[in-house]
Amino acid sequence: MNTTKIGWIGLGNMGIPMTTQLIEAGYEVKVYNRSKAKEGALTEAGALLAETPKELTLQTDVVFVMVSDDAAIEAVFKGSDGILSAETTGKTIVNMSTVSPAISKQMATDCGAKGHIYLDAPVSGSVKQAETGQLVIMVGGDESAFNAVKPILERLGKLAMHVGETGAGNSAKLAINSLLALYAQGLAETVLFANTQGIKTEDLLNLINNAAIGNIFTKIKGDAIIADQYQAAFALKHIVKDLNLAKEEGISSPLAKTALQTFEAAAVKYGEEDIIAVIKEIKAD
Ligand code: NAP
């Protein structure tokens, strides 16, 4: 049994498998989610429940946060029952959500004022990698605090790397997700072009996945295209959020601009579906 008491806020597509990994690793894990329906599966797996982020912060040592966006971070940290309302000190708060470097800097300052340490630690990889502890984790903030939680991060990921000061993890993640958007749009456009030339989707993907340009992404998303199955592993609306955050941080390259335009249009109909549902938007054009 690992003695560090872990708190986990946010049981979405990623939070559920990540929490499950920590329970399986022998940690005591207390969870909180805004909507209650998702907590059931985890209590069956052995998680304890907290009524509020405040209660969870009081009762645990390291608090992980895995929620949607900056607005969710505001709510979870600064809401009336939020993390920062807990009358306690000396906790480590690890924010694994993909959010702006700016909100991380703000939360790090607010956490510091309460005597807590804040790390931004977003992840690359999706549900499959979360289920198998194979995420890639990039961390900004105090390096000794990073080293202290590294054993926990290593249960969640195959690589946990310190990349700089507060917000640096978020910056690295936005760079990676800019590439992710280009991969998704590129794969979709390539399949559709091949189809216009009479090449079957299955055949094209078989070729790609055996070629040097094939990778885990083309395999998993290729399978989704073949199955015509777009249930969200990574919701398309989240890549719109990330491309907008990257734009706010100054990205203005031609492909980044095009991707933002494409995914914003796709999100009108397919925002709750997986990122690769972008193929339906491009096909309809
Ligand atoms: P998700 O399935 O959409 O879940 C979002 C979570 O955030 C839910 O627990 C939701 O609570 C919570 N939330 C949203 N707004 C909130 C608010 N105002 N107050 C409190 N809680 C709130 O998202 P996900 O796919 O797990 O992704 C989580 C984060 O990881 C995002 O930043 C995403 O960009 C990033 N990410 C995702 C993937 C992926 O493949 N899915 C990969 C890498 C990184 P409710 O259940 O109550 O709605």
Ligand 1: does its nearest atom lie under 6 Å from the Cβ of 5? no
> Do strands 135-140 and 123-124 pair parallel, antiparallel, or not at all (unpaired)?
antiparallel
Taking the C-alpha atoms of residue 235 and residue 255, their distance in angstroms, rounded to an integer, is 21
CATH of domain 171-284: 1.10.1040.10
> Do strands 117-120 and 27-32 pair parallel, antiparallel, or not at all (unpaired)?
unpaired
Q: What is the pLDDT of residues 172-216, one digit of tens each?
A: 999 999 999 999 999 999 999 999 999 999 999 999 999 999 999
What residues are labeled active site?
Answer: 173
Ligand 1: does its nearest atom lie under 6 Å from the Cβ of 75? yes
Taking the C-alpha atoms of residue 134 and residue 115, their distance in angstroms, rounded to an integer, is 32
- Rounded alpha-carbon distances, angstroms, from residue 132 to 138, 156, 157, 234: 18, 8, 8, 16
Q: What are the residue ranges spanned by the domains of the chain?
A: 2-165, 171-284
Task: Return the CATH fold of 2-165.
Answer: Rossmann fold (3.40.50)
Q: Is the pLDDT of residue 1 over 70?
A: no
Closest atom, ligand 1, to C-alpha of 96: 30
Q: What is the pLDDT at residue 56?
A: 98
* Average pLDDT along the chain: 97
Q: What is the pLDDT of residues 39-57, one digit of tens each?
A: 888 899 999 999 999 999 9
Taking the C-alpha atoms of residue 200 and residue 179, their distance in angstroms, rounded to an integer, is 26
> pTM of the prediction?
0.95
Q: What is the pLDDT of residues 215-248, one digit of tens each?
A: 999 999 999 999 999 999 999 999 999 999 999 9
DSSP H or E segment with residue 135? strand 135-140
Taking the C-alpha atoms of residue 73 and residue 167, their distance in angstroms, rounded to an integer, is 14
Instruction: Report CA(237)–ligand 1 centroid distance (Å).
Output: 11
Percent residues over pLDDT 90 in the chain? 97
Q: What is the pLDDT at residue 40?
A: 86
Q: What is the pLDDT at residue 41?
A: 82
Which amino acid, one-letter code, is at 199?
A: I
Taking the C-alpha atoms of residue 284 and residue 4, their distance in angstroms, rounded to an integer, is 51
Ligand 1: does its nearest atom lie under 6 Å from the Cβ of 185? no
